[in-house]
A and B are shown apart, each in its own frame.
Chain A
Amino acid sequence: MTPIALRFPAAFATAFALLGLAGCGTPPKDLDVSLDKPSAAGVYRVALVPPAPAPAINQLHSWKVKLAAADGTPVHGARFAVDGGMPQHGHGLPTQPRVTRELADGTYQLDGMKFSMTGWWEVKLAIEGPQGADKVTFNTVVDHPPVRP
């Protein structure tokens, strides 16, 4: 299988967006691809850590979730519901990923991730923790690996 690259939609997407040519397969130019951000209501600070090396298209793989309170203190004992999909193609995730365990204080294992195609994917977490419920949506752009002749 071919490894994919998780990238920031950098020069290429930007160039085409500037030309007004953002097509169906091109993520929006202003897409926030930060993998470390406050949750929607600011209750938590959440970071997603992608696997390295990047997995292949259609390969099951795992991410890590780092959960902290707004002040940066790791949050222990939280529960997560995972959702997501491709906004540009009208479908959800091909699997139902789950947070399966807490690896260390505030660091959780997210298993069962799979991307079935390149492009813009959303990964949404609904968080239930000691500080309350909140949610967060991450964007990630799955790209082809470097071309091998």
Chain B
Amino acid sequence: MNSVIRLIAALAAVAVTAGAAQTLSRSPLRDRWSPQEVATLSSMRLKEAGPRPADPSNAYEQRTDAAALGRALFNDTRLSSNGQVACASCHSADQQFQDGKPFGQGIGTGKRRTMPLMGAAHSPFLFWDGRKDSAWSQALGPFEDGAEHGANRVRLVKLVQAHYRDSYQAVFGALPQLGQLPDDASPGGTPAEQAAWASMSGESRDAVNRIFANMGKSIAAFERGIAYGESRFDRYAQATLAGDGQGQDVLSPQEVRGLRLFLGNGQCVTCHNGPLLTDHAFHNTGIPPIDRTQPDRGRADGLRKLLQDEFNCLGRYSDARPEQCGELQFLATDDPGQVAAFRTPSLRNVAQRPPYMHAGQFTSLEQVVGHYAKSPPAVLGHSELAQPGEKHADRQAIRLSASDVQDLAAFLGTLTGPVVQAR
């Protein structure tokens, strides 16, 4: 065994030396990594995310006047049924653009954990169940959700007419003539609102939808300026790539042990990969539902809602050509693995925003890691995690000791950086 260890160490040393020789070596590396691990560390650096990709379904998202309008709408509590709820109520700038609560709290109490806004531009699907495929379409959902803003699109559009006429028209052109409209109407609201919506002409409904969609497009333009900044982990990865041993001191030995587990036995990096530490996909990992008798179906229901959404990439309010809606055109709709699957969240700044999981099931990172160490079977659907003791041809169970859990949680703390906001 000793000879095997020596051989591995020798291989690693050769590899690291070869890698370091390509760059200016400032001091001997404190921590050594295999070439494969160095490649993984490199891919996890924030700068690998590159510039935020453009959203072809929103022709206004890069306009500063749209972002200014979006910022005002984002913070406006008038856009709610009780005049007290704005987007910012749950997505608070001083709380990582989330709320720190297990369930979103608006007019009522939501069913899921509020997600932060950073990184949204990089994700093809939004919300825990991915029922939205753009930031602008996502922004529309909470306005009409009874537990969030509790508003309806006709009332919202009238508020835009009353308070934002000039700034709206400067971005989107003249507000269409809406004629006589009911006070409250929406295709998805109360029975009375739905009836009022049905009584409107098709032309009126289309004009209201257009203005409503443009509210979302301006909010998305504002949100585009909100991003993650670099963390201690990014500096460590950069130092490791540069062969800078002193630079590696930015992480403690315990944090480095946690990083090794993140890439190795913990198997965390299989889903929490890339510069945002997420694969942007949906997985069932056996997270315990809040109500075992009515478990959340997650992505399985989100898919249905996404396909029916008039504000999706292929809808008439999207600015994209159909061929630019690849994620929707090639949507995996019949994968049984989507039942009770949820979107992999980014781990950037994760230590700053307990509680964790889609319904705030865990209050600490140790509990989160402990869940994966146990890998319990799913209450609904099937967990992708191999069960402890299970003999499986290809999958291996996650095995972590109590101290491993501590080390992993310590590493997760190194992913914290500033929230960068465009002015």
Complex Cα spacing A12 to B395, Å: 20
Q: Which of A25, A96, A116 contacts B279 (CB 8 A)?
A: A116
> Which of these, A111, A119, A147, contacts B19 with CB under 8 Å?
A147
Q: How far is the CA of A140 from the CA of B340 in the complex (A)?
A: 28
Tell me if A131 counts as interface (CB < 8 A to partner B): no
CA gap between A97 and B335 in the complex, in Å: 13
Q: Tell me, yes or no, whether A95 is within 8 Å of chain B by CB.
A: yes
- Among A57, A88, A144, point to the contact of B394 (Cβ < 8 A): A88
Q: Which residue of B lies closest to A95 (CB)?
A: B330
* Cβ-based interface call for A106 (8 A): no
Within 8 A of B (CB), among A12-38: 12, 15, 19-21, 23-25, 28
> A94, B332: Cβ atoms under 8 Å?
yes
B40 at the binding interface (Cβ < 8 Å) = yes
- Complex partner residue of A58 from B242, B269, B274, CB under 8 angstroms: B274
Nearest chain A CB to B44's CB is how many angstroms away?
A: 10
Task: Report the Cα distance A97→B327, complex, angstroms.
Answer: 10
Partner of A24, one of B23, B43, B124, B395: B395
Q: Answer whether residue B92 sits at the interface, using C-beta atoms and an 8 A cutoff.
A: no
Is B385 an interface position by the 8 A CB rule?
Answer: yes
CA distance in complex: A144, B264 (Å): 16
Question: In the complex, what residues of A have CB within 8 A of residue B329's CB?
Answer: 112
A67-93 contact mask (Cβ, 8 Å, vs B): 1 or 0 = 000000000000000000001111111
Closest to A98 in B: B330
Tier of interface size on chain B: 35 or more
> What residues of B have a CB within 8 angstroms of the CB of A92 in the complex?
332, 335, 337
Contacts of B53 in A (CB 8 A): 1
B294, CB-defined interface residue at 8 Å: no
B273: CB under 8 A from chain A? yes
**Bound Cα distance from A144 to B53, whole angstroms:** 20
Which B residue sits closest to A94, measured CB to CB?
A: B281
* A57 adjacent to B274 (CB under 8 Å): yes
Across the interface, do B43 and A144 meet the contact criterion of CB distance under 8 Å? yes
Please state if B4 and A144 are interface contacts (CB–CB under 8 Å).
Answer: no
| B238-293 interface with A by 8 A CB criterion | 241-242, 264, 267, 269-271, 273-274, 279-281, 283
- Say yes or no for A104: interface residue by CB 8 A criterion: no
Q: Is the CB of B48 within 8 A of A89?
A: no
B351 at the interface (CB under 8 A from A): no
Q: Is there an interface contact between B396 and A23, defined as CB atoms closer than 8 Å? A: yes
* A109 close to chain B: CB less than 8 A: no
CB distance from B22 to the nearest CB of A (A): 8
Q: How far is the CA of A116 from the CA of B42 in the complex (A)?
A: 17
Does B420 make an interface contact (CB < 8 A)? no
Are A12 and B333 in contact (CB-based, < 8 A)? Answer: no
B327 lies within 8 A of A95 (CB): yes
List residues of chain A with CB within 8 A of the CB of B384. Answer: 89-91
Chain B residues contacting A28 (CB-CB under 8 Å) are 394
A-B contacts besides A58-B279, A112-B326, 17 pairs, CB < 8 Å: A2-B50, A15-B11, A19-B7, A20-B4, A58-B274, A87-B395, A88-B395, A89-B270, A90-B385, A91-B283, A93-B332, A96-B332, A112-B330, A114-B330, A119-B270, A145-B43, A149-B23
* Interface residues, chain B, with chain A CB atoms under 8 Å away: 4, 7-8, 11, 19, 22-23, 35-36, 38-40, 42-43, 48, 50, 53, 124, 241-242, 264, 267, 269-271, 273-274, 279-281, 283, 326-327, 329-335, 337, 382, 384-386, 393-396
- Can you spell out 15 A-B residue pairs with CB atoms less than 8 angstroms apart? A12-B36, A58-B124, A60-B326, A60-B330, A87-B393, A88-B394, A89-B395, A90-B386, A91-B337, A94-B281, A116-B280, A116-B281, A118-B43, A144-B40, A145-B39
Lowest 7 CB-CB distances: which A-B pairs, in order? A112-B330, A144-B39, A90-B384, A116-B279, A87-B394, A60-B326, A95-B330
